Amino acid sequence: MKVLVTGASGMLGGEVAKRLRDAGHEVSAFQRRPAGIDGVKDVCGSLTEAADVRRAVDGHDAVVHLAAKVSISGPEEEYRAVNIDGTRNVVNALRAQGGGKLVNTSSPSVAHFGEAIVGLDATAPEPTRARGPYARTKAAAELVAMEADGSDGILVTTLRPHIVWGPGDTQLVERIVERGRKGTMPLLDRGMALIDTTYIDNAAEAFVAALNRIEHVHGESFVITNGEPRTVRDFVVGLCDAAGVSRPRITVPGPAARIAGRVIEKVWELRPGYDEPPMTEFLAEQLSTAHWFDQRRTCERLQWKPRVSMDEGFANLKVYYDKQRD
């Protein structure tokens, strides 16, 4: 099968592209800069340019769409352009060539409305209730993708991987590790919120499974996790211990962090820093609210299950950081 992976320069996209390549598919990667993956053809362009996307999609049997604007701050129009309009460009490109398979990437945050999620399956995305520009636009993008299922020769399924992490992760792991080095990593409400996360190998294998099973699962959305809820504290401590940096010592009440995050967001809009703000209201909610999911339907329908446990993942991460220090 000829498969196009969007966003293959990222950790998850790159791992998905490699696994599809190793499974014998002819894989191309579409993003702004070359992904540089052996055996994977690079097609460079912008997700926001319809002509670029149509050129990249043309001739492919399937698209695994992972490219997105992922952040906790910034103008909402930037998120809309990449996440909503970009997804619409992918759908339209498939429609223009007469159809194809689409494994779309979303986020559990599309159905997180500031309250605890305890053992739920994938519930409907609601753009008007989702928290923050990333979640709102990913919710709308999921609706765009899923509305195309079953029309014009297009089959669509959506995966919502939750907090993907692993060796080489610069989005989450390295940020936590760096704050651990500086002693500035806070825990909200002592880090007692119970959350699900997903080790990179398990997430990538879920995407391959979804593509293999799309004739049977199209029209459905699935949350992807390790199925091992841990407290925020246990997860953060596991990352810090693997990297050999200090465990968090600062604890902040969740409600106070939410208020502070709201204020910091406003300040960042006026005087943006070179990096993301240290706290936002959305991030405070994520760090102080339980969110873990029932994986039974996901495992059954995709005929997939997590292969690497959390503890094995931490051990792999320790090997990675030990090598970095050598």
Q: Are 206 and 295 in contact (CB under 8 A)?
A: no
Nearest residue to 107 (alpha-carbon basis) of 198, 16, 201, 235: 198
Q: Are 76 and 82 in contact (CB under 8 A)?
A: no
- The helix-helix angle for 86-96 and 132-147 (nearest 10°) equals 10
Is residue 134 part of the annotated active site? The answer reads yes
Q: Are 279 and 260 in contact (CB under 8 A)?
A: yes
Alpha-carbon span 105 to 86, nearest angstrom = 12
**3-class SS of residue 183:** coil
- CA distances 117 to 6, 95, 108, 190, Å, are 30, 36, 10, 19
**3-class SS of residue 168:** coil
Dihedral-angle region of residue 5 (phi above 0 means left; psi in -120 to 50 means alpha; beta otherwise): beta
79, 134, 199, 274: the active-site residue: 134
Active site residues: 134
